[in-house]
Structure formats: structure tokens, C-alpha cells
Amino acid sequence: MNSEVIASTANKARQLNAEEIAEIEHEMTLYPDKKAVGLEALKIVQKHQGWVSDESLLAIAKYLDLPAADLEGVATFFNLVYRQPVGENVILFCDSVSCWIMGCDNMKEHIQNTLGIGFGETSEDGKFTLIPVPCLGGCDRAPVMMVGEELHHNLTPDAIDEIVSKVRS
Amino acid sequence: MTTKPLTKNIDMSRGPLDISAYEAADGYQSLQTIAKGLSPDDVLQKVKDSGLKGRGGAGFPTGLKWSFVPQGENSPQQKYLVVNADEMEPGTFKDRLLMEGDPHLLIEGMLVAAFTIRASKAYIFLRGEYVVAERALNKAIAEAAEKGYLGKNILGTGFDLDIVVHTSAGRYICGEETALLNALEGKRANPRAKPPFPQVSGLWGKPTIVNNVETICNLPSIISYGIDWYHGLTKGSDHGTKLFGISGKVKTPGCWELPLGLPIRQVIEEYGGGMQDGLELRAFLPGGGSTDFMLPEHLDITLDYDEIGKVGSRLATGTMIILDNKTCPVGMIGNLMKFFAHESCGFCTPCRDGLPWVDAIFRELEEGRGSEKDLEILHEHVDYLGPGKTFCALAPGATAPLGSGLRIFKEDFERHITGKCCPYKH
């Protein structure tokens, strides 16, 4: 690890913005203690910042008065909390059993070639991050993937091309 | 009266019914019935009498589960109802339909459950990816609160209820009820030791009932239309209707509400449309990724909890995954093992270390580097990861398709080793 990387894991919290604080405060009314709000707060910050940086994680820990290590334990436990920067659109690609039977391996290859990235990577233009996800509950319309909040089903290479070019334009 | 109490209002070509349309279709009638003078004990007796079993996978009698909640002056006054809406079992797509299609039904069912166990606060633990369901549920909750069906002293009964939708962030283990409670408390979702069971000491140490979405959705009609009507629904030995799904290479995959007790063959052929042209049914998982394989010789068995149990599998979620004769069974099981290895919470050693080992062996087999010794190791893992050897049911769930698959598809495993490749690809 070089000194620059060490410096970037700074132990200095950033300032949460007013919107983030308002949303976290709202969540605090729904649970009997602050610890329960930890995951919600991570998701709120991720919604505003795109991902959860060390500085953001420290800020939430400080705001909720939680040990940062505990919160990091939660953040790294869940598939949908991003501790690295992601592209503008996160693609959640289902590779579970029903999608596999319906040929998602070929779709995976197609989308990886189209975007020029593998799982866990972000395209050069910063538009897409591709992540495998467990069963999305769209098994009767497999193969499926989510782009942002939208579920796309019965994927074919043509359908994937269309989705990708629509987002790019 | 309807024969489809779970899906009568669902039409996915339009949005879900709003509260007035829902009420026009007998919606919230169970709450009105309760307000006219049923006690929590009356409702509990009705749910026991209905014979309803949990629809999340385990099939435990719902009324019996509820009866374990301590009641009376000396019991903790705060009790919780939690709805398990973290649908992530591979091949399972039924709760999504209920929540996107008719969110008020879930809210109404939660009112019945919370009233009975005397919970004033309820959480819906929803999969983070189910954003459409999240919006539909929050809208329904707001409409119900506006009508006075949620909040304080509901319809003058003295019963209070608030419902919060908690969206998770994606981990299969959260479907395990004690892991779910830890997640809801803001902790890593490792399962807890049982006992104490959540019914006695659950969320924040208070008595808590965790029920699956579909289980809860059964409740309104049991109260509104009565036990005799409910008992008239089934074609078999278990009561009520159930959502059944079929995925894989059938002509018309989908999810349908059907009476319990229909023969499997009828569901696959009439509803699933039979196998796609040129394909034959090789085997199927009857209720999601953690059930034992069943074979064509089992097609005349009926879809009942006990009947399927008799041949060594489980009805579980009721969503069947079909394996055809041109898809590699070793590849299919390997896909499931990758899933279970990834979703292990890492808390106990057999699961954390065993499942990745199993997964690695399947990759070796797929790439033609497998050996006889690997098969031995897989067989050993069916034992090492089986029921009673791990902290929770995740790894034993994985051994269901693994153990049954090793037995049924022995020849296919052998061919991967002797032919040094996947015979379905070459």
C-alpha cells in the first residue's frame, strides 16, 4: 500500500449535507435506537453520493454515535452497499438458477463484451457498473437484470444492446 | 365467494387497487369484523382452526406459532410483528407478485396478525431490489392511515398499529428469521442461537412474530369469509390456496394461485404449458433452491406439505424449478452451490469454509479437472453441512439439491470426470 492510499483512508469524517441529515433524522423516528438506523443511513448517503466513502462512513458513525468498525461491519456485509465508486447506472445481473437454465451465461458474455467490463467493474465512460446479484424474483421471465431501479426481463443480445444504447444516449 | 383469495385483485396489466377499489372488493372486511367484537383470542382460535401453515418455506402452523407469544400483564407490553418480505430463494417469485399486485391485502393481513398477538408496531422487511413493491406498500400504508385503519385506537378497538417498510440491502441470510431480526436492529445479519425463540425474545428482546408475506395474505379472507369457506378451497390434505410458480424450459412459465393438493403433473402441464418442444422433463426442485430434486415418477404426487415430504423433498416456497434433458444437472447444482457459498454469512465454520470448497469442486468438474476424490469430498460435505451440523438452516438447505443430485445424477457427475469436460457442451 502506498502512502497516497493510506492518506485516502483518512480518519476524518466529511460533513453530511442537510438533505442527508433530514432523511436520517426521519429514519430515527421509526426505530427505537440509533444503531438500527445504520443501514438506512448508509443507503441514504449512497443515494446522494453514489457510494459510501470512508469519509462518509465515518460521518454516519459520528452522527449516530456508533463505533465506525461496527458500521463498517454492516456496510461490508450487504451486497447493495457500495464501498467503492460505481458508475451512473448499476446493473444488477441475475445469475441464479432459473436465469442460468434460461441461458444467462450467454447474456453475461454479451453484456460484458458490449460494455468491455467484467463483474465488479465500471465502464470507461463511467456510465455502467456491472454486478452479479442473487435471484431477482423474475424467474418466469428469465433471464433478467436490473438497470438502476428498472427490471428488464426475457433478455436477448438485441434487448441488451437496446437497453445499453438507450442509457448511453 | 372467491376461490382465489390471494390474487383476486391482482391484474399486472394495471396498477394495484387503491383503497376505495380495494374496499369495494370486500377489502378491510376482516378489520370491520374484528371491530364488531372479536377478541385476539377469538382470532387466534380461528387461525388455528383454519389449519394455515407458514408459506415462507418451513410450513409451520401459523396459529401455533402465534400462541407462543407470552400474553397477559406480566408479559412485555411491547410486541412486534415482522413480515419477512426478503424474497431471495433462488427460483422464487411469489411474494413480489403479492406486494406489487395487491399491497392492501398485506396491510390488512398485518392488521389481523398484529391485533392477535397484540403488537403495536410492525416492520415489513423488504428486499432492497423490490423498489416497485416498496412504493406500492408505502402508498397503501398512507391510504390506510388516512382512513384510520392504522395509527391509534383503530376503529375504536383500543388497538394501535404502525407499519414501517424497512428496505434491506441484499443478503439471502436475512430470510432466516433471527438473522433478519439482527439486520433490522442494524447489526450484521448473523443468525442467533435458538432458544430463545423470537416469539419470546425477538426484536430488541421483545416477543416477535416473523411471518412470510404470503402467510399474512391468507389472513383477511379467513376472518372475512370464515373457516368453512377456507376449508372448502383445498383439493388435498392441507388447507387453503397457495401461489405456485414454474420456471425453466416450460412453454408458459409463471405464477398462479391454486388450491393445495393438485397433482404436480396437472400444474406443469395445464399452467406451465408442458415442456418446450423437443425437451423432456428430467427432474425438478419443487419449492426453490434448497429443496431435494424430484423426478418424473413423482409427477402424480399432490402439492401438499406432507405428500411431498413423504418422497424426501419439501413443498417449501411452492415455486418449482424445472430441469430439462438438455441442461446439465451438474451445472445446475454448481450454480446453486455458488449462490449458497456467496450468501453464507460466514459465522460458522462448516458453512463458511465448506460451501466455497463445494463451489470450487463444481468449477473443477465444469472445466474437466474433476476426480473421483472430488466426488467423495462432495458426498462428505452433504454430511458435514447437513441438519444439526451448522448454526442455521442455510447450509443444510444447500445439501438438499447437492445430496439428492449426487444420487440421481451419478452418471452425469462421472461423465464430467471421465470425459474431462461437460458432456452437455461438447
Q: What is the pLDDT of residues B18-60, one digit of tens each?
A: 999 999 999 999 999 999 999 999 999 999 999 999 998 888 9
Cis peptide, bond prior to residue A143, ω within 30 of zero? yes
Burial of A169 (0-12, 13-18, 19+ CB in 10 A): exposed
Residue among A97, A102, A144 with most chain B CBs within 10 A, to mutate: A97
Output the nine-digit C-alpha cell for A91: 446493473
Output the nine-digit C-alpha cell for A166: 438507450
The predicted structure's pLDDT at residue A10: 57
Do residues B35 and B157 touch, judged by C-beta distance below 8 A? yes
Considering the entire predicted model, what is its pTM? 0.95
Residue of A nearest to B401 (CA): A97
Residue spans of the domains in chain B: they are 19-231, 241-324, 329-418
Order of strands, sheet of B121-126, starting from the edge strand that comes earlier in the sequence = B162-167, B121-126, B80-85, B208-212
Q: Assign residue A21 a region: left if phi > 0, alpha if psi is -120 to 50, beta otherwise?
A: alpha
Q: State the DSSP code for B183.
A: H
Looking at the complex, does the CB of residue A35 fall below 8 Å from at least one CB of chain B?
yes
What's the rounded Cα separation, in Å, for the pair B210 and B123? 10
**Topology given in CATH for the domain delimited by B329-418:** de novo design (two linked rop proteins) (1.20.1440)
Looking at the complex, does the CB of residue A94 fall below 8 Å from at least one CB of chain B?
no
Looking at the complex, does the CB of residue A27 fall below 8 Å from at least one CB of chain B?
no
CATH of domain A89-168: 3.40.30.10
The predicted structure's pLDDT at residue A1: 41
Task: State how beta strands B121-126 and B80-85 pair.
Answer: parallel
Q: Shortest Cα distance from A2 to chain B (angstroms)?
A: 30
Q: Do B321 and A97 touch (CB under 8 A)?
A: yes
Task: Report in angstroms the alpha-carbon separations of A66 from A62, A73, A120, B340.
Answer: 7, 12, 29, 31
The predicted structure's pLDDT at residue B425: 87
Q: Shortest Cα distance from B156 to chain A (angstroms)?
A: 24
The predicted structure's pLDDT at residue B236: 86
Residue of A nearest to B345 (CA): A77
Please tell me which of the candidates A42, A101, A135 has its beta carbon nearest to residue B89.
Answer: A135
Instruction: State the Cα torsion A143-A145-A151-A156 to the nearest 10°.
Output: -50
Looking at the complex, does the CB of residue B243 fall below 8 Å from at least one CB of chain A?
no
Do residues B126 and A80 touch, judged by C-beta distance below 8 A? no
Q: Shortest Cα distance from B398 to chain A (angstroms)?
A: 13
Q: Tell me the angle at which helices B410-418 and B372-384 cross, rounded to the nearest 10 degrees.
A: 140
Looking at the complex, does the CB of residue B367 fall below 8 Å from at least one CB of chain A?
no
Looking at the complex, does the CB of residue A80 fall below 8 Å from at least one CB of chain B?
yes
Residue among B247, B342, B394 with most chain A CBs within 10 A, to mutate: B247
Q: Do A97 and B166 touch (CB under 8 A)?
A: no
What's the rounded Cα separation, in Å, for the pair A156 and A162? 10
**Topology given in CATH for the domain delimited by B241-324:** Ubiquitin-like (UB roll) (3.10.20)
Task: Report in angstroms the alpha-carbon separations of B374 from A164, B355, B371, B404.
Answer: 41, 14, 5, 17
Q: Do A78 and B88 touch (CB under 8 A)?
A: no
Q: What is the 3-state secondary structure (H, E, C) of B332-401?
A: HHHHHHHHHHHHCCCCCHHHHHHHHHHHHHHHHHHCCCCCHHHHHHHHHHHHHCCCCCCCCCHHHHHHHH
SS3 B106: helix
Looking at the complex, does the CB of residue A43 fall below 8 Å from at least one CB of chain B?
yes
Q: Sign of the CA dihedral B356, B362, B364, B369? A: positive
In chain B, residues 156-195 whose CB comes closer than 8 Å to chain A: 164, 166-172, 183-189
Q: Shortest Cα distance from B188 to chain A (angstroms)?
A: 5
Instruction: Report the alpha-carbon angle A113-A114-A120, nearest 5.
Output: 70
Output the nine-digit C-alpha cell for B56: 415462507
Q: From the CB of residue B122, how many other CB atoms can be counted at a distance below 10 Å?
A: 24
Task: Identify all chain A residues contacting B182, using CB atoms and an 8 Å cutoff.
Answer: none
Q: Return the half-sphere exposure (C-beta side, CA atoms, 13 A cut-off) of residue A11.
A: 3
Helices assigned H by DSSP within chain A: 3-8, 18-28, 38-49, 54-64, 68-75, 97-101, 104-115, 157-168
Residue of B nearest to A38 (CA): B186
Per-residue pLDDT of chain A (169 residues; tens, 9 = 90+): 444 444 445 578 899 999 999 999 999 999 999 999 999 999 999 999 999 999 999 999 999 999 999 999 999 999 999 999 999 999 999 999 999 999 999 999 999 999 999 999 999 999 999 999 999 999 999 999 999 999 999 999 999 999 999 999 8
Task: State how beta strands B281-285 and B319-324 pair.
Answer: antiparallel
- Is the domain covering B19-231 a CATH 3.40.50.11540 domain? yes
Q: Do A98 and B131 touch (CB under 8 A)?
A: no
Q: Sign of the CA dihedral B262, B268, B272, B273? A: negative
Q: Shortest Cα distance from B59 to chain A (angstroms)?
A: 20
Task: Identify all chain B residues contacting A42, using CB atoms and an 8 Å cutoff.
Answer: 169
Residue spans of the domains in chain A: they are 3-75, 89-168
SS3 A45: helix
Q: Do A35 and B187 touch (CB under 8 A)?
A: yes
Task: State how beta strands B80-85 and B281-285 pair.
Answer: unpaired
Residues of chain B falling short of pLDDT 50? none
ipTM of the complex: 0.95
Output the nine-digit C-alpha cell for B203: 426484536
Looking at the complex, does the CB of residue A139 fall below 8 Å from at least one CB of chain B?
yes
Looking at the complex, does the CB of residue B321 fall below 8 Å from at least one CB of chain A?
yes
Residue of B nearest to A67 (CA): B187
SS3 B125: strand
Task: Identify all chain B residues contacting A152, using CB atoms and an 8 Å cutoff.
Answer: none
Can you tell me which residue has the cell 432523511?
A23
